[in-house]
Structure 1
Amino acid sequence: MTEHHTTVVVLGGGYAGVMTANRLAPHASVTLVNPRPAFVERIRLHQLVAGNDDAVADYATVLADTVRLVVDGAERIDTSNRTVALASGGSLTYDYLVYAVGSTGTVPAAVPGAAEFSYPIGELEQAQRLAARLADVPVPAPLVVVGGGLTGIEAATEFAEAGRPVTLVTDVLGPSLADSGRRSIAKRLAKLGVAVVEGSAVAEVRADRVVLASGREVPSAVTVWTAGFGVPGLAAASGLPTDGLGRLLTDETLTSLADPRVIGAGDAVSPSNAPWRMSCQAALPLGAQAANTVLARMGGADPAAVNHAMAGQCISLGRAAGIFQFADVDDTPRRWYVGGRAGALIKEQVCRYTLKWMRGEADKPGSYSWKTNPHRAQVAAQAVPAR
């Protein structure tokens, strides 16, 4: 076995972290730190709740054999000494650190009762908690899903297809989609019997209902909160510069503004304060490009600017239907989409291929590739934060 003298610690074993670790595996001694022993398919968590997928995969199926997996949490990054304090009480040293801790579902503290009575769905444990709750709730009991983004739509349709009465409360249905895509989704929701309440804010969540800003009360045995995501506070707690959401601020090479030995990837990074949309579609190329930055620095070269294009948005609408919304390279939705059963097949293929692409990078490091966005440099120049 080749002995490597450069040590890389990757924090986070999601889509970005695994891609980074696999690309670096032949060139460095790589340790992947993750709080769970299995890879979580974030894009299937709504299926876990509905009971038709476990949303996890064995790391042996996606991670290079030479990557050391440490099942633990990271408590603090000490950039002066290049160490990471672990939740178990131990620590790791590194030459380079890749910050790929991902994102999580959040519940706003400003909404009375939301933290106590609603269920986010953005992490494995959150989804498992919701699944356990639903197992105790009769199928005819009413559910409320708060948030009309992609996660809210997927959750609402999955529950409705299982026979549960669902009300979806949102300001705008599918705000990231084109009008044509929104209309298609609205038709599917109506077909499944989902009541959509648009233009409404939630004023309060109670044990058995949701109170809207208008004063209207919507019965709810279980309230699922999908409006918004957050990121772990590790970067900020470690004194690293972050944006308003807590994402690690980096330059266009994904290098931390505070330390050239810290590289960011995935949902928890904000290059030039102009981050990509939180998604596995962005996380995979960001992970590969983070690895490229580390490799460049290891070789004494200047890292390349990060750049990749977006292709569209895949949304499952239950098991029998879905939609693929085409988009420009800058993620602006186009009017064209593929819906119905064909949309469901595309979504399922994308879910499967995320695992295949990570495994492919493990088997042949450097093989994963992506399309670029010719406008990225202009976007970054307009948004770059002052050092």
Structure 2
Amino acid sequence: MAENTDVVVIGGGYAGVMAANRLTQRDDVTVTLINPRRTFVERIRLHQLVGGSDDAVVDYAKVLAARVRLTVDTVTRIDAAGRAVELASGGTVAYDYLVYAVGSGSADPQVPGAAEHAYPLADLEQAERLRPVLAAAPASAAVSVVGAGPAGIETAAELAEAGRAVTLVCGGVLGPYLHPRGRRAVAGRLARLGVTVIDGPGTRVTEVTREAVRLADGRELPSEVTVWTAGFGVPDLAARSGLSTDALGRLRTDETLTSVDDPRIVAAGDAAAPSDLPFRQGCQSAVQLGPQATETVLSRIAGEPPVPVEVGFAGQCLSLGRRAGVFQFSRRNDKAVGVHLGGRLGAKVKELVCRSTVRQLAYEARKPGARTWWAKDAERRHLLSATRDEAPGTAGREPDIAGRSA
């Protein structure tokens, strides 16, 4: 009789759910998913939760394979030597292999007053905290959204469409990822919604007060509600557990997503830094990294060498309220090109992507391992080679972490 293998997945987001579901293709693998919430959070819909058009949650029964054991708890420490994780509730869970898929959240703002007076928007609890604050504010209240990545753009548009007086404070360029043509389309839609866009040099926020935001160029903008979307960080679980991380706290791995410290630990999603060249954070990379992390685990169980990760991108979706959107096309290497879809078609594509992402999770739950191909970024091999030639094991690039859109 085959020996059973226990695999623990930390984190029930896009990468974690994909990884857990795929692991169920082997009957001799027991899968435990540890997550602090009882429901799956559609992070790419958090701006809709704030605006009141969606609750941004899905029952795990719809996206998680029946064989996956869901443990609602928080991992406080990884005991790599003892092959166990310690839980906030006081218990421990042993593992043979561990998938580290803790995702990302808001970075601690270093701007004076931001922690006290601004409302971050990177997870469910933050969105649920912000929604009643907006509901209680007068319709004429000045609302500032800080950060011009996808989360900031989508939140500003959602609130403006609902009749709010919104100022989007970019701190630089509007939509840094976008091609100039796509950026013009976004700017045009925001203008039609009545959003005041503050971009360019000197627009970095230097202080947040109860009633205003102050900019580097000396301007002071009235703001009765300040929404903070200006950056994302990752949990410090890996670092606290003595595992090697990059400067942002992501678990350092090789190209098979295996921890550089421990072959029993594999990473996926926003908190993974393969070869010090991490992918852009978001669900588009997460739904590819999750299954590939599992393939690495299954290869090791089978005594076979795991294969290098392959991730490719198609572009970036932005909803601009409920009636318009932009889909910015890109090359496989995530570089935006001069082609985009806009208007109502863009909105339909965005909604299609949101729904299809959940369906993709559910499909993997029903037919684990059915997907065997991955989009390829041929340039990654050249980047890896150049990076290793320059400074082996130390060089890296920062991903676009300004937002959390698909």
Q: Determine if the TM-score, normalized by the shorter chain, exceeds 0.5.
A: yes
Q: TM-score, normalised by structure 1?
A: 0.98
SS in 2 for 1:155: helix
How far, CA to CA, are the matches of 1:381 and 1:98 in structure 2? 27
- Residue 67 of structure 1: how far off its partner (Å): 0.2
In the aligned structure 1, how far is the partner of 2:236 from the partner of 2:280? Answer: 19
Report deviation, 1:132: 1.9
Which residue matches 2:320? 317
Query: Cα offset for 1:4?
Result: 6.3
User: C-alpha offsets along residues 341-374 of structure 1, whole Å, 9 cap, x if unaligned?
Assistant: 0000000000001111111111111123431112
Aligned to 1:67: 68
Residue of structure 1 equivalent to 2:393: 386
Distance change in 2, residues 1:127/1:204 (3 Å): same
Q: State the Cα deviation string for residues 121-179 of structure 1 (Å, max 9, x = none).
A: 01111111111211211121010001111110000000000000000111110000100
SS in 1 for 2:102: coil
Residue 24 of structure 1 aligns with an amino acid whose one-letter code is L
Matched, 1:188 2:189: yes
The reply to whether residue 25 of structure 1 matches residue 24 of structure 2 is yes
The match for 1:377 is: 381
C-alpha contact (below 8 Å) 1:8/1:97 kept by paired residues:
yes
Aligned equivalent of 1:209? 212
Q: 1:173 to 1:212 in 2, by over 3 A?
A: same
Query: Residue 16 of structure 1 corresponds to which residue in structure 2?
Result: 15
Aligned-residue offset at 1:376: 1.9
Query: What are the within-5 Å matches in structure 2 for residues 137-148 of structure 1?
Result: 137-148=137-148
Where structure 2 has 5 or more consecutive residues not aligned to the other structure, the ranges are 395-406
- For 1:69 and 1:143, locate their aligned partners in 2 and report how far apart those are by CA, in whole Å: 39
| SS across alignment from 1:300 | coil
Question: Structure 1 CA distance, aligned partners of 2:108 and 2:214?
Answer: 16
Q: List aligned pairs for 1:283-302, cutoff 5 A.
A: 283-302=286-305
Q: Spell out, residue by residue over 1:104-124, the C-alpha distance to the aligned partner (whole angstroms, 9 max, x if none).
A: 022412x11000000110111
Alignment-mate amino acid for residue 6 of structure 1? T
Residue 157 of structure 2 corresponds to residue 157 of structure 1: yes
**Corresponding residue of 1:120:** 120
Distance in 2 (CA, whole Å) between partners of 1:15 and 1:381 is 30
- 1:9-42 C-alpha deviation (Å, 9 max, x unpaired): 0000000000000000132100000000000000
Letter in 2 for 1:48: L
Corresponding residue for 2:230?
A: 227
Kindly indicate whether the alpha-carbon contact (under 8 Å) linking 1:106 and 1:120 is maintained by their aligned counterparts in 2. Answer: no
Shift of 1:60: 0.3
Q: Is the 8 A contact 2:25 2:369 kept in 1?
A: no
Normalised TM-score (structure 2): 0.93
Alpha-carbon distance in structure 1 between the residues aligned to 2:226 and 2:2: 52
Partner of 1:84: 85
The Cα of 1:3 is off from its aligned counterpart by 8.2
Q: Do the aligned residues in 2 keep the contact of 1:272 with 1:383 (CA within 8 Å)?
A: no
Hey, what's the Cα distance between the residues in 1 that align with 2:380 and 2:3?
A: 35
Number of corresponding residues:
385
Q: Kindly report the root-mean-square deviation, in angstroms, between the aligned alpha carbons of the 2 structures.
A: 1.2
Change (3 A) 1:14 1:3: farther
Q: Percent identity?
A: 58
CA contact (8 A) 2:44 2:354 kept: yes
- The amino acid that maps onto 2:22 is R
Conservation of the 8 A alpha-carbon contact between 1:107 and 1:114: no
Q: Name the counterpart of 2:285.
A: 282
SS at match of 2:354: helix
Q: Does the 8 A contact of 1:252 with 1:306 survive in 2? A: yes
Distance, in Å, in 2 between the alignment partners of 1:386 and 1:101 is: 23
In 2, Cα distance between equivalents of 1:235 and 1:361: 27
How far apart are the structure 2 equivalents of 1:287 and 1:176? Answer: 24
Contact persistence 1:173–1:182 (CA under 8 A) = yes
**Which structure 2 residues correspond to residues 46-57 of structure 1 after superposition, within 5 A?**
46-57=47-58
Structure 1 stretches lacking a partner, 5+ long: none
